[in-house]
Amino acid sequence: MNIAKMIDHSLLRPELTTDDVLRGCEVAARRATASVCVRPSDVPLAVTALRGTGVLIGTVAGFPHGSTTTAVKVAETRALVEAGADEIDMVLHIGRLRAGETDYVHDDIAAVVAAANGCVVKVILENAYLTDDEKVTGCRLAERAGAHFVKTSTGFAPGGATLADITLMRATVSPSIEVKAAGGVRTLDTLLALHAAGATRFGATTTEAILDDFAARERREGQPLGA
């Protein structure tokens, strides 16, 4: 089991300096994570820092509330892809989903998918604000709109990924859609439990601690975990 390749090393906190972002990119490169997820303005910085490492460049659109207009999300997505982003984590319009305006939510996501021009799009539902029925509707709309992942949270809401939400989301979407857990994934035990429930990608800030714990357990067991 390659835990590192399940992690999007998150560098989204608003107070991070340029040096903080560069140090985060160095961690991602050294630990060979799946990606970094950086703020939009940091995409060119991450592209330069991670060139040749195999670490993907992820970023966000409509973040963190999802309430910017579709035109703004589209323009942002196009600019970020042109700047070198490989993956776009977009926030759907939470209020419109709660209002039952499913055509709006679908079309908003579909427009970002089109603007991403083949790059991976992960749709953040921000489950802390949704009922289970709304989570199911959001997942189905994201899949119908062509997204590649559904994602639990931004990490900036009152709650993050839960076992119940991952189980629900995995059961809602088809096998062609992956599930990303974000918000509160700070320990190896949490990551492994959410992985068992169906998550295949994880947003994390405590990447090194998680990977160090995994390596230590493998040494104690004397064989690869998950083999």
Q: What is residue 227's predicted lDDT score, i.e. its pLDDT?
A: 46
Q: Per the residue annotation, which of 73, 122, 135, 180 is the catalytic one?
A: 180
CB 37 within 8 A of CB 9: yes
CB 185 within 8 A of CB 152: no
Q: What is residue 220's predicted lDDT score, i.e. its pLDDT?
A: 86
The phi, psi pair for 66, rounded to 5°, reads 80, 5
**For tokens 């055509």, what's the residue?**
103
**For tokens 């809401």, what's the residue?**
157
Contacts of 193 (CB under 8 A, 6+ apart): 163
Compute the distance between CA of residue 180 and CA of residue 200 in angstroms, rounded to an integer: 6
Other Cβ atoms closer than 10 A to 174: 7
Q: Per the residue annotation, which of 89, 122, 135, 165 is the catalytic one?
A: 89
pLDDT in tens, 12-36: 999 999 999 999 999 999 999 999 9
CA 69 to each of CA 75, 76, 93, 105, 176: distance values in angstroms, whole numbers, following the listed order: 10, 11, 9, 11, 28
The verdict on whether 151 is a catalytic residue reads: yes
Architecture of domain 4-218 in this structure: Alpha-Beta Barrel (3.20)
Contacts of 28 (CB under 8 A, 6+ apart): 9, 35, 36, 50, 53, 55, 207
pLDDT in tens, the chain (227 residues): 899 999 999 999 999 999 999 999 999 999 999 999 999 999 999 999 999 999 999 999 999 999 999 999 999 999 999 999 999 999 999 999 999 999 999 999 999 999 999 999 999 999 999 999 999 999 999 999 999 999 999 999 999 999 999 999 999 999 999 999 999 999 999 999 999 999 999 999 999 999 999 999 988 887 566 54
The verdict on whether 180 is a catalytic residue reads: yes
Of 162, 112, 181, 183, which Cα lies nearest the Cα of 141? 112
Domain boundaries, the chain: 4-218
pLDDT in tens, 74-116: 999 999 999 999 999 999 999 999 999 999 999 999 999 999 9
For the question of whether the overall pTM of this predicted structure is more than 0.85, the answer is: yes
Q: Per the residue annotation, which of 122, 135, 151, 165 is the catalytic one?
A: 151
The verdict on whether 189 is a catalytic residue reads: no
Compute the distance between CA of residue 95 and CA of residue 87 in angstroms, rounded to an integer: 24
Q: What is residue 223's predicted lDDT score, i.e. its pLDDT?
A: 58
Retrieve residue 74's tokens: 């589209």
**For tokens 């802390």, what's the residue?**
128
CB 8 within 8 A of CB 38: no
Retrieve residue 216's tokens: 């230590």
